[in-house]
Amino acid sequence: MEKTGNSEDVNDYIKVTVKDSDLCSRYTARVVKNIKIAPSPEWMQRRLAAQGIRPINNIVDITNYVMEEYGQPMHAYDLDKIEGKEIVVRRAEKNEKFVTLDGQERTLDDSVLMICDGKKAIGMAGIMGGENSMITDDVTTMLFEAACFDGTNIRLSGKKVGMRTDASAKFEKGLDPNLAMEAMDRACQLIEELGAGEVVGGAVDIYPVKKEGTRIPFEPEKYNRLLGTDIAPETMLSYFKKIDLGYDESTNEVLAPSWRQDLACDADLAEEVARFFGYANIPMTLPSGEATTGKLPFKLRIESMAREIAEFCGFSQGMTYSFESPKVFDKLLLPEDSKLRQTVTIANPLGEDFSIMRTSSLNGMLTSLSTNYNRRNKNVRLYELGNIYLPKQVPVTELPDERMQFTLGMYGDGDFYTMKGVIEEFLYKVGMRKKPEYDPNAGRPYLHPGRQANVIYDGTVIGYLGEVHPTVAANYNMKDRVYIAVIDMPEIVSRATFDRKYEGIAKFPAATRDISMLVPKEILAGDIEKVFDEKGGKNLESYQLFDIYEGAQIRGGYKSVAYSLVFRAKDRNLEEADISGAMDKILKALENMGIELRK
């Protein structure tokens, strides 16, 4: 390319300072004076039109022409409007206002790179120039800019201000900084050829770290293994030579030029080989590697078992939103100081009804049950496996604790004990063989005060169940009794097991003893069963509650409870003394609790 420019020095016209070299790896500038604005030649107009670009005038058309020819965007500023005859490349101030060439005012943040003069911003780097420095018909001296800006920053900045231009689209893909000066010289050559102005000698070129080509190890065996081909190394190198890739035989490396920014690793070179070899010519091969036995992770197996048990018990799966309204806490009668009111707030919600992440799965379940109830569906049973989001602190500074909840809800046929049976079946199936306990003093305001309980396993609360409080049910437009159970799945996963130990069929006969008792009403059946487990000895095989009665024939403050106890030894026939000894211990412990034996 012929040398352009007069005997003057561009540094007498403009000074350039780049404050953010991480976002601007190279900045070049030249000055053109005695500008003559006119239509561009017909040949240039035709070529631009073929690219879908509307011709405007010779100066603008030259910048667009060079952009298409070299892939290097350029921009022109009216030098007389640049205060201090200085260019400063810096980040925008926070909430800085700037009016672009299209007349729109943009609000910027400190991540947007700006082109500024001595006092003000005159362009958004790589996106669009400013209205305050635009080229008009009375321009006399012009500053040409060709730079290389960070593609990622240009893309993010364009998204923030809602603008994407032809220039930003090219910067986003990544440009070779080594082309910037070539494109600048080409533009100045066209200026002189078209008589559009007088190019000032010299150029400003801020290029602190020159970009070199990439060196990639040449590994033909790996490329063949990846593609499933058997291509000779010499053939691969002949492919690379056709696309200007060099080869250093001493280091066995492929030399990719700086403008091939898409070549960085062995997979990139394998792709080039595949393109030349032809995708249609790559043979079909069986996958290589070891065969492994696939199965679900342990956590998903537990969740699968929960679905199986729920559906076996007549429940249908539902899915509800994790986004909720803060108003649900009032519907659930939660006190103002409840921890469940501490939530993760959505930054850009669809509306107030979806403005927080749920801390309880109840609202979604009760809403679904309410929908079915008001559509006159009878005997509805639903379950859901979904996360709740419990912030570790408020305001939120780290990710919340996401806990999977197994939620069951029903109305119609069934009661508290139906729900209790589903929970116990689930615990049994996941290998939690210890007997769960139920604490009626759960203190949950959204449940009926006399028909609720925490589910306790091995001393830890793993969930709760109960009848929904009548006021809460009314808040959801339901007049029937509604039952809810919630199991905290992380507590289940940490205790569950699918290991099973099988025992042979019993060889010796069982002996049964029935006992009927007068029990104070405040004593729970679980308290009685604890006595059986502790005092029954190793020969107590099982026990079953078969009768409970409260009525006029029973003393006030008491209830009649009857159990059947089964004794069996694994190695011999039991004698009466074996059974009597265990029964005496049981009865004595029951008497100490204030329980009387009915005779």
- Whether residue 307 is found in the same domain as residue 168: no
Asked whether residue 499 is assigned to any structural domain, the reply reads no
What is d(CA 210, CA 207) in angstroms, rounded to the nearest whole number? Answer: 6
In DSSP terms, 418 is beta-bridged to none
Helices 58-70 and 42-50: angle between axes, nearest 10 degrees: 50
State which H helix or E strand residue 576 sits in: helix 576-592
Longest dimension (CA), the chain: 126
Asked whether residue 504 is assigned to any structural domain, the reply reads no
Question: For position 166, what pLDDT does the model report?
Answer: 86
Residue pair 222/228 in contact (Cβ under 8 Å)? The answer is no
- Whether residue 146 is found in the same domain as residue 127: yes
The residue ranges of DSSP E strands in 266-365, in sequence order, are 316-317, 323-324, 356-357
Banded pLDDT at 134 (limits 50, 70, 90): confident
Residue 376 sits in a domain whose CATH number is: 3.30.930.10
Question: For position 476, what pLDDT does the model report?
Answer: 96
- Whether residue 449 is found in the same domain as residue 361: yes
Residues of the chain above pLDDT 70, percent: 99
Q: Between residues 555 and 115, which one has the greater pLDDT?
A: 115
What is d(CA 389, CA 373) in angstroms, rounded to the nearest whole number? Answer: 28
What is d(CA 195, CA 529) in angstroms, rounded to the nearest whole number? Answer: 105
Residue pair 365/318 in contact (Cβ under 8 Å)? The answer is yes
What is d(CA 151, CA 449) in angstroms, rounded to the nearest whole number? Answer: 62
Please, is 495 exposed, middle or buried when counting C-beta atoms within 10 Å of its C-beta (0-12, 13-18, 19+)? middle
Residue pair 210/254 in contact (Cβ under 8 Å)? The answer is no
pLDDT tens-place string over residues 535-560: 999 899 999 999 999 888 888 889 99
350, pLDDT greater than 90:
no
- Whether residue 246 is found in the same domain as residue 359: no
Question: For position 503, what pLDDT does the model report?
Answer: 79
Mean pLDDT, residues 130-152 taken together: 89
- Whether residue 36 is found in the same domain as residue 165: yes
Three-class secondary structure assignment of 385-430: EEEEEECCCCCCCCCCEEEEEEEEEEECCCCHHHHHHHHHHHHHHC
Q: Which residues contact 528 (CB under 8 A, 6 or more apart)?
A: 517, 519, 561, 563, 590, 595
Residue with tokens 């080869």: 247
Q: Between residues 293 and 244, which one has the greater pLDDT?
A: 244
Q: In total, how many domains does the chain have?
A: 4
Average per-residue pLDDT in the chain?
92
pLDDT tens-place string over residues 381-417: 999 999 999 999 888 888 999 999 999 999 999 999 9
Mean pLDDT, residues 15-40 taken together: 93
What is d(CA 209, CA 153) in angstroms, rounded to the nearest whole number? Answer: 19
Task: Among 241, 256, 281, identify where a domain stops.
Answer: 281
- Whether residue 240 is found in the same domain as residue 193: no
Asked whether residue 81 is assigned to any structural domain, the reply reads yes
Buried b / exposed e along 82-93 (16+ C-beta atoms within 10 A): beeeebbbbbbe
330, pLDDT greater than 90:
yes
296, pLDDT greater than 80:
yes
What is d(CA 479, CA 372) in angstroms, rounded to the nearest whole number? Answer: 13
The string of DSSP codes covering 445-483 is: TTEEEEEEEEEEETTEEEEEEEEEPHHHHHHTT--S-EE
Alpha-carbon separation of residue 484 from 58, 75, 389, 413, 511 (angstroms): 76, 67, 20, 14, 39
Q: Which residues contact 416 (CB under 8 A, 6 or more apart)?
A: 451, 465, 466, 467, 483
Residue pair 355/328 in contact (Cβ under 8 Å)? The answer is no
Residue 531 sits in a domain whose CATH number is: 3.30.70.380
| Best CA proximity match to 36, nearest among 19, 11, 65, 58 | 58
Residue 70 sits in a domain whose CATH number is: 3.50.40.10
pLDDT tens-place string over residues 45-67: 999 999 999 999 999 899 999 99
Domain of 488?
298-493
Side chain identity at residue 208, one-letter code: P
289, pLDDT greater than 80:
no
- Whether residue 422 is found in the same domain as residue 552: no
Residue 220 sits in a domain whose CATH number is: 3.30.56.10
Banded pLDDT at 426 (limits 50, 70, 90): very high
pLDDT tens-place string over residues 70-106: 999 999 899 999 999 999 999 999 999 999 988 889 8
| Best CA proximity match to 436, nearest among 444, 422, 424, 446 | 424
- Whether residue 402 is found in the same domain as residue 542: no
Mean pLDDT, residues 488-501 taken together: 93
Banded pLDDT at 2 (limits 50, 70, 90): low
Residue pair 90/160 in contact (Cβ under 8 Å)? The answer is no
Side chain identity at residue 73, one-letter code: P
Q: What's the token pair of residue 255?
A: 């030399």
Question: For position 524, what pLDDT does the model report?
Answer: 87
Banded pLDDT at 566 (limits 50, 70, 90): very high
pTM tops 0.75? no
Asked whether residue 14 is assigned to any structural domain, the reply reads yes
Q: Which residues contact 380 (CB under 8 A, 6 or more apart)?
A: 369, 372, 373, 410, 411, 412
- Whether residue 276 is found in the same domain as residue 307: no
Alpha-carbon separation of residue 169 from 48, 115, 158, 159, 426 (angstroms): 17, 18, 10, 12, 57
pLDDT tens-place string over residues 168-197: 999 998 899 999 999 999 999 999 999 999
- Whether residue 62 is found in the same domain as residue 21: yes
526, pLDDT greater than 70:
yes
- Whether residue 197 is found in the same domain as residue 233: no
Task: Among 206, 230, 260, identify where a domain stops.
Answer: 206
Asked whether residue 470 is assigned to any structural domain, the reply reads yes
Asked whether residue 5 is assigned to any structural domain, the reply reads no
H runs (alpha helix) in 332-380: 362-374
Alpha-carbon separation of residue 423 from 316, 429, 566 (angstroms): 16, 10, 24
The string of DSSP codes covering 75-103 is: EEEEGGGSGGGEEEEEEPPTTEEEEBTTS
Asked whether residue 395 is assigned to any structural domain, the reply reads yes
Task: Among 186, 206, 226, identify where a domain stops.
Answer: 206
Question: For position 65, what pLDDT does the model report?
Answer: 93
Asked whether residue 290 is assigned to any structural domain, the reply reads no
Mean pLDDT, residues 306-333 taken together: 95
Range scoring the smallest mean pLDDT among 108-122, 150-164, 288-302, 497-511: 288-302
- Whether residue 251 is found in the same domain as residue 303: no
Sheet strands side by side (includes 214-217): 214-217, 253-256, 246-248
Question: For position 3, what pLDDT does the model report?
Answer: 77
Question: For position 1, what pLDDT does the model report?
Answer: 63
Provide the pairing of β-strand 86-91 with 15-18.
parallel
Summarize the chain as % helix, strand, coil (round to 5): 30, 25, 40
